[in-house]
Amino acid sequence: MTDETGDISLKDTNLITSSNRQAGFVSLNSALIRSGVGLAIASGIGYLGWRKGALTHSGAFGALVSGTVTAGRGGYGRAALLVGFFVASSLLSRLPERQELSFSSFTAKGGRRDAWQVAANGGASTLVACFGEGQRYRLSYLGALAAATGDTWATEIGRRWGGTPRHIFTLQPVDPGVSGGITLTGTLATVAGGGFIGLLGIVSGLIDPAFRARKRELLLTGAISGVFGSLVDSLVGATIQEKRWCDDCQKRTERPIHTCGSDTSVVGGIRGVDNDVVNLICTISGSATGWAIERRSNRQD
Ligand SMILES: [Zn+2]
């Protein structure tokens, strides 16, 4: 079961499944039971997230779909990573604010995540989980979540303890929350957030054979995908993300309608490339990083 190549482990799992079936048991690891467990846990988390103000109604529904599909198709290990990402990010966002007002009047949406935000952060990993529970796509799954986590941690930690952000190209100081702005603390947080998901991957080996092999690789993939995904996020945020302007307040914003109630106009970037699109590109980059590392290590076997 603990063989270096997870394929053998999965064969073992299948053998156990079929022998259990012959004995009249329903295996805890059948896709149907996993979907049920995923649905139950995701319902609880979605409800708590909505009650605590972390999710809107649509966001809670998105979390429900993502959790059920991930557990059912991807297995318990991948589901555990998803839970870890969501719980850690939600806890971080509840830390005391430093410049709450200037930040929330700038960002496109409030503190609650809606379905689009859930899809932007969890869509890539959920899609990869649909490919199945095997060894082959585990790092691209982990990379997608590591990028989402790294980016979220950079935002939450950077805006509280990062000091004044600087633009990724010009290094000129920018307002907190402005896309393309980076801080040293935030950049270190991308390593920590990605590494955290890698660490969770190792722990997930306790319940999922796919995460038992090559522990160091899990940790490295997490950290690298966390940094790379967030770097791509900042680059895209600094270039093609739409930039909006409120004429009444003479302020930059991401909101189509400013907190003052006035319509804002697009003054730069590509219309429609909002924060959700940028986050989706970030997680796809993280997934691609994991995929490349997986391919490389499979070739070495
Ligand atoms: Zn305004």
Report the pLDDT averaged over residues 241-248: 92
Distance 60 CA to ligand 1 centre (A): 30
Name residue, tokens 């979907």. Answer: 35
Between the CA of 154 and the centroid of ligand 1 the distance, in Å, is 27
Q: In this predicted structure, which of 30-44, 133-147, 187-201, 252-266 has the lowest mean pLDDT? A: 252-266
Q: What is the per-residue pLDDT for 179?
A: 85
Torsion of CA 175, 180, 183, 188, to 10 degrees: 150
- The residue type found at 188 is L
Q: Per the domain annotation, does 122 fall within a domain?
A: yes
Q: Is residue 271 part of a domain?
A: yes
Percent of the chain's residues with pLDDT above 90: 66
Summary mean pLDDT of the chain: 87
Measured in angstroms, how far is the CA atom of residue 269 from the centroid of ligand 1?
Answer: 20
| Ligand 1: centre distance to CA 257 (Å) | 8
**DSSP annotation of 71:** I
Is 108 part of a structural domain of the chain? yes
In a domain, 19, yes or no: yes
1 domain-assigned:
no
- For residue 47 the two structure tokens come to 């409800």
Helices (H), the chain: 6-22, 31-51, 57-69, 76-93, 100-106, 115-129, 138-161, 184-204, 215-239, 275-300
Expressed in angstroms and rounded, the spacing between residue 117 Cα and the centre of ligand 1 is: 23
Question: In whole angstroms, what is the distance from residue 82 CA to residue 37 CA?
Answer: 14
Answer whether 84's CB lies under 8 Å from 200's CB.
Answer: yes
Asked whether 67 and 38 are in contact (CB, 8 A), the reply is yes
**What residues have CB less than 8 Å from 19, skipping those under 6 apart?**
none
CB atoms within 10 A of CB 47: 14
**258 CA to centre of ligand 1 in angstroms:** 5
pTM, 2 dp:
0.87
* Angstrom distance (rounded) from CA 175 to CA 164: 7
* Mean pLDDT within 98-110: 61
pLDDT tens digits along 72-95: 999 999 999 999 999 998 889 888
Full domain range(s) for residue 280: 6-300
What is the whole-number distance in angstroms between the Cα of residue 277 and the centre of ligand 1? 24
- Write out the E strands in the chain: 166-167, 181-182, 243-246, 251-253, 265-268
State the distance from the centre of ligand 1 to the C-alpha of 103, rounded, in angstroms: 13
pLDDT of residue 4: 42
Residue 219 placed within a domain: yes
Ligand 1 centre from 114 Cα, in Å? 23
Residue 262: both structure tokens together: 């006035």
What is the number of structural domains in the chain?
1
Q: Which residue has the tokens 């991401």?
A: 254
